[in-house]
Amino acid sequence: MDDKIILTGIKPTGTPHIGNYIGALLPLIKMSENHKTFMFIADLHALNAMHDAKEIRQHTYEEAALMIACGLNLENTVLFRQSDIDEVYKLTEFLMNVTPKGLMNRAHSYKAIVEKNTEAGIDIDSGVNMGLYTYPVLMAADILLYNSDIVPVGKDQKQHVEFARDIAGYFNNIYGETFKLPEPIIGEDTGYLPGLDGRKMSKSYDNTIPLFAPSNELKKKIMRIITDSKTPEEPKNPDESTIFQIYKAFATPDEIAGFRKMFLDGGMGYGTAKTILFEKIDSALAEKRAKYEYLMSHTDEIDAILEAGAQKARMVAAKTIAKVKKKMLGL
Ligand code: ADP
Ligand code: TRP
C-alpha cells in the first residue's frame, strides 16, 4: 500500500445507473482497497442548484448507502458528509483571497452558461449565483483540506482539480510551501457502457438502467434495449450488441465466451438474450441491493458511519486550518 492519499467527492444529485457503477463506483471501491481514501458526499456542492433540503438529505443517504452496499473498504476509507466539517467553510473563505476572479471566469461550467445567455441576448450572468461561480474554490478547499495527492474524477471535473492545483500554487507562492499539489486521475474515456438506445448510458439521454431497481423494473428496462431486426435463427454480431456489451461488464470470462458463441452461432433470439442479461445483472446485484435497501430503511446506521468518518476527517482538517490561519493571520 503506497502512502498516497486519495480523495473524491460525490455530488448527491440523482439515482445512479449501472454505467456510473461500472465506470466510476467500482474503480473507486477497488482503489480504496489499498489506499488511504477520503470520500465524502458533497452536499454543499449541491446547494447552488438544489434548494430542497429534504431532497439533498435523501440523496446524501442514497449515495452513502450505495458506496457501503457496494463494498467500500471502511477500514481504509474515511466516508463522511462534506457539510459536517466546519473547516471546509473556513478554508473556502481563506482561499477566496488568493484566487483570481479571472480563474473562475474560465471555468467550463460557468463559461457554458455565459455562452448560452449571450446567445439568448440576456444578461451574461443571468441564473448564476455565487455558489455556482465559486464552486471551484469550495472544491479546492475539499481537496487541500485533507492533503490529497490523487483525486479520481470524471472528465468533466478535471479542470476543477487543475484549479485546486493552481490555487494551492498561488497560496504557496505568497505564504511559502503549505499545500501539496494534487493530481487528477481521469476515469477511462473509452469503454463507456451503452444505454438502452445504444448511445452512452447517461442521465442526460434518459436511456439508463438504474443500479438498484427492483427485479421487475430491471427486467422491464432490459426488455426495452433497442436491437436490430435479425430473426432468432440468424447469427448476430456480439460486438455491435448493447445486450452483449452490458453483459460483459458483469460476467466472468468463461460466461462471456459462452454468450459470444451463442450470438455468433445463431439460434438465439434477442428476447432470450435479454433474459440471460437480466438474470446475470439481477443475480450479480442481488446481495448489494439487499444491503442498500436495508441501509435505506436504517438511516441511523448510515448516520453513525458518516459521523465516525467526520470525526476522523475533522482531525486532519483542524490541523490544516491551524496552519493556514497562522500563515495568513499570524494567529
Ligand atoms: P451521467 O452521464 O449519467 O450524467 P455522470 O456524468 O454524472 O453521468 O457520471 C458520473 C461518473 O460515472 C463519471 O465518472 C463517469 O465517467 C461515469 N459514467 C457515467 N456514465 C457512464 C457510462 N455509460 N459508462 C461508464 N462510466 C460512466
Ligand atoms: N464537483 C464534483 C462533481 O460534481 C464533486 C466534488 C466535490 C468533488 N468536491 C470534490 C470531486 C473534490 C473530487 C474532489 O462530481
pLDDT digits (tens, 9 = 90+) for 194-232: 999 999 999 889 999 999 999 999 999 999 999 999 999
Please, what is the average pLDDT of the chain?
A: 95
Give distance in angstroms: CA of 135 to centre of ligand 2: 9
Is residue 190 over pLDDT 60?
Answer: no
Give distance in angstroms: CA of 156 to centre of ligand 2: 10
pLDDT of res. 300: 98
Ligand of minimum distance to the alpha carbon of 146 = 2
Is residue 141 over pLDDT 90?
Answer: yes
| Residue from 4, 30, 116, 323 carrying the catalytic annotation | 116
State the Cα–Cα distance between residues 116 and 134, nearest whole angstrom.
19
Q: Which residues line ligand 1 (CB under 6 A)?
A: 19-20, 22-24, 154, 187, 192-193, 200-204
Give distance in angstroms: CA of 94 to centre of ligand 1: 32
Segments of the chain assigned to CATH 1.10.240.10:
212-291
pLDDT of res. 187: 75
Please count the other Cβ atoms lying within 10 Å of the Cβ belonging to residue 209.
23
pLDDT of res. 142: 98
**CATH of span 212-291:** 1.10.240.10
- Of residues 148, 18, 43, 86, the one with CA closest to residue 311: 86
> Does CATH number 3.40.50.620 belong to domain 5-192+298-329?
yes
Told to judge if 230 belongs to the known catalytic residues of this protein, a careful annotator would answer: no
Is residue 1 over pLDDT 70?
Answer: no
User: Best mutation site among 11, 20, 45 for ligand 1, i.e. most ligand atoms within 8 A of its Cβ?
Assistant: 20
Identify the residue whose C-alpha is closest to ligand 2 atom 11.
Answer: 9
| Residue from 158, 200, 288, 291 carrying the catalytic annotation | 200
Q: Which residues line ligand 2 (CB under 6 A)?
A: 7-9, 11, 42, 45, 139, 142-143, 151, 153, 157, 160
User: What number is the average pLDDT over the span 166-189?
Assistant: 93
Segments of the chain assigned to CATH 3.40.50.620:
5-192+298-329
State the Cα–Cα distance between residues 331 and 324, nearest whole angstrom.
9
Told to judge if 325 belongs to the known catalytic residues of this protein, a careful annotator would answer: no
| Reported confidence tier of residue 188, pLDDT bands at 50, 70, 90 | low
User: What number is the average pLDDT over the span 148-152?
Assistant: 96
pTM, two decimal places = 0.92
Is residue 189 over pLDDT 70?
Answer: no
pLDDT of res. 10: 95
